[in-house]
Structures are given as structure tokens and as C-alpha cells.
């Protein structure tokens, strides 16, 4: 799903945007502006350069839009298999619904699947946005 139009609108509204950057087995979130240079990571995904002093503390992020391969009606997400998001947000497992950030998957409706097998390390989504709109999940 192309998030460029959403990012442009958020910038016009004065919002700060952060992009994930691979850092070892997890992700750092670095500031992203229209002037931020991007370089392709080992998976060919454009990301800002690492600059540790400027990374966002995870609990200061309000919302994280997460890519996915598939999702189910319970808020479980199938990613690309690297586990980067699950390791990064492991502290959210078992947290109250209001814990920050809110994790929302971005997908197309055809990516909805029957219930996925859940692993102990999986971090559930708070919702998913598709071309049909936003669906919120009840976190357990």
C-alpha cells in the first residue's frame, strides 16, 4: 500500500513522521522530512541513514503503520518473516490497550486470511486499515 499521499497530508498538518530503519535484529525510528536522503537497506527498502541521537524513543510514537503479508480478524499479523516489528515492540505484549504506540497494519482486503497460528513472540495489531477503511481489534 502506497503511504506517500498520507505522509504528504500529515506533513501539511504539521505532524512529525518517522521511518523504520533496520538496526541489528530490531528497528529504530528516524525522523523523515521531504528533504531526508534515503538509502536502500539490505532488502532494497529505502530508509533514512542511522543517526542514533535523533532516533525516536518507541514510547513517544503515537502510531506505527506496519506493513504485512496477511492479517486475521483477531489482529494477528503475518510479516515477511524477519521478526523485526515483533522484536521492536515486544514490550507491548500483554500491555493495556492504551499503551504507546498504537500498531495499525496497512493492507488490502484480499490479504485477510482465516485465523493465523499465533506464536508467543507475536505482537498483535490494534487495527488494520484497508481500502475499505479502518478495523479496530480488541486486544487481549
Which residues are known to be catalytic? 77, 86, 122
Residues facing residue 46 across a β-bridge: 40
What cell numbers appear for 139 in the block? 486486544
Cα–Cα–Cα angle for 66, 31, 20, rounded to 5 degrees? 30
- C-alpha cell belonging to residue 38: 534515503
Residues 6+ apart with CB under 8 A from 122: 76, 77, 86, 93
Amino acid at each position: 500500500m502506497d503511504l506517500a499521499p498520507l505522509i504528504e497530508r500529515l506533513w501539511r498538518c504539521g505532524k512529525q513522521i518517522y521511518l523504520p530503519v533496520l538496526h541489528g535484529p530490531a528497528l529504530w525510528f528516524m525522523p523523515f522530512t521531504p528533504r531526508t536522503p534515503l538509502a536502500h537497506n539490505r532488502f532494497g527498502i529505502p530508509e533514512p541513514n542511522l543517526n542514533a541521537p535523533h532516533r525516536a524513543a518507541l514510547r513517544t510514537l503515537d502510531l506505527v503503520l506496519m506493513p504485512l503479508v496477511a492479517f486475521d480478524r483477531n489482529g494477528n499479523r503475518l510479516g515477511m518473516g524477519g521478526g523485526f516489528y515483533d522484536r521492536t515492540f515486544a514490550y507491548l505484549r500483554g500491555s493495556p490497550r492504551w499503551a504507546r504506540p498504537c500498531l495499525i497494519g496497512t493492507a488490502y482486503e484480499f490479504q485477510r486470511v482465516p485465523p493465523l497460528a499465533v506464536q508467543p513472540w507475536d505482537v498483535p495489531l490494534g487495527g488494520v486499515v484497508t481500502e475499505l477503511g479502518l478495523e479496530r481489534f480488541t486486544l487481549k
